[in-house]
Amino acid sequence: MPTKTPGSSARNFLPEQRDLESLKIASQHCKGCDLYLRGTQTVFGEGRKSSAILFVGEQPGDQEDLAGKPFVGPAGRLLDACMEEAGIDRNAAYVTNVVKHFKWEPRGKRRIHKKPSVREVTACRPWLDAEIKAVRPKMIVCLGATAAQSLLGSSFRVTLHRGEAMEVAGYPPIVATVHPSSILRARTDEDRDRERALFVADLANVAKTLAKLVRRRD
Ligand code: URA
Ligand code: SF4
């Protein structure tokens, strides 16, 4: 048995069986970084085993932390609506996060989201890689800079390359776009509508590229 040293990496907590169900169960006991002390529970990814698209967010938010499910709060509802508009079936998508515990700071009675550190993202990465191996998606969509930089490198800029299909050895094409939370934070209705339309357009392009990839392999 490997020694389970808390605070180093999720690597030591991965089960021998790497199917989604076994991974999800084992992830509940992860102490790969200190975030397990702060979150209510591990929020593992969700979706069908052979989903064509795998969406990666940053980390669970307040509602996800309590529900134990990814993207069930305001950002998740927006993601669902935009996916539908873009013609992506939520049932054909696996949805997860780079970091599986909610990192937060108290502000009054509220728990305010705090960006995970590079160390925490790195520590949690074995779970994401195991999910990608188990699901074998045809495309990966990174939502926001944390996910994009984890998969595409720390110098990747979503603003410069949003919507482009990037090639990384050992992975299917990876597309990065904004995080739905950034749309919710827009200052004016006009900004929000514009950002939302751009996001839906990025997802519609993903759907189109995916259709081509599937056709090519048939
Ligand atoms: N934001 C994320 O990045 N992931 C979630 O699951 C919810 C909000
Ligand atoms: Fe493990 Fe990831 Fe949670 Fe850290 S954030 S304890 S590495 S599941």
At 96-125, the pLDDT tens digits run 999 999 999 999 999 999 999 999 999 999
Instruction: Show the tokens assigned to 95.
Output: 């949805």
DSSP class of residue 8 equals: T
Per-residue pLDDT of 63-89, as tens digits, reads 999 999 999 999 999 999 999 999 998
Q: Would you state the pLDDT for residue 8?
A: 84
Report which of residues 182 and 1 the model is more confident about: 182
Q: Is 180 in the pocket of ligand 1 (CB under 6 A)?
A: no
Query: Is residue 2 one of the residues assigned to a domain?
Result: no
pTM over the 0.75 mark: yes
- Note whether residue 181 is domain-resident: yes
Q: What confidence tier does 4 reach under pLDDT thresholds 50, 70, 90?
A: low
Q: What is the CA radius of gyration of the chain?
A: 17
User: Does some domain include residue 213?
Assistant: yes
Q: What is the CATH number of the domain that holds 39?
A: 3.40.470.10
Lowest pLDDT segment from 13-22, 85-94, 152-161? 85-94
Index of the ligand 1 atom closest to the CA of residue 95: 6
Question: Per-residue confidence at 1, pLDDT binned at 50, 70, 90?
Answer: very low
Which of the listed residues 31, 97, 100, 127 should we mutate to test ligand 2's pocket, taking the one with most ligand atoms within 8 A of CB? 100
Q: Is 183 in the pocket of ligand 1 (CB under 6 A)?
A: no
Q: What is the residue-averaged pLDDT of the chain? A: 95
Domain range for 74 is 10-217
Choose among 77, 213, 207, 99: nearest CA to 147: 99
Q: Which of 56, 59, 63, 112 to mutate to test the pocket of ligand 1 (most atoms within 8 A of CB)?
A: 59
Rounded CA separation 115/117 (Å): 6
Our answer on whether the CB atom of 101 is closer than 6 Å to any ligand 2 atom is yes
Which of the ligands is closest to the CA of residue 65? 1
3 is a domain residue? no
Q: What are the tens digits of pLDDT across the range 25-52?
A: 999 999 999 999 999 999 999 999 999 9
Instruction: Kindly identify the ligand whose nearest atom is closest to the C-alpha of 116.
Output: 2
Say how many Å lie between the CA of residue 6 and the centre of ligand 2. Answer: 10
Judge whether 59 lies within some domain.
yes
**Number of domain units in the chain:** 1
Q: State both tokens at 132.
A: 């990608």
Please name which ligand lies nearest the alpha carbon of 128. Answer: 2
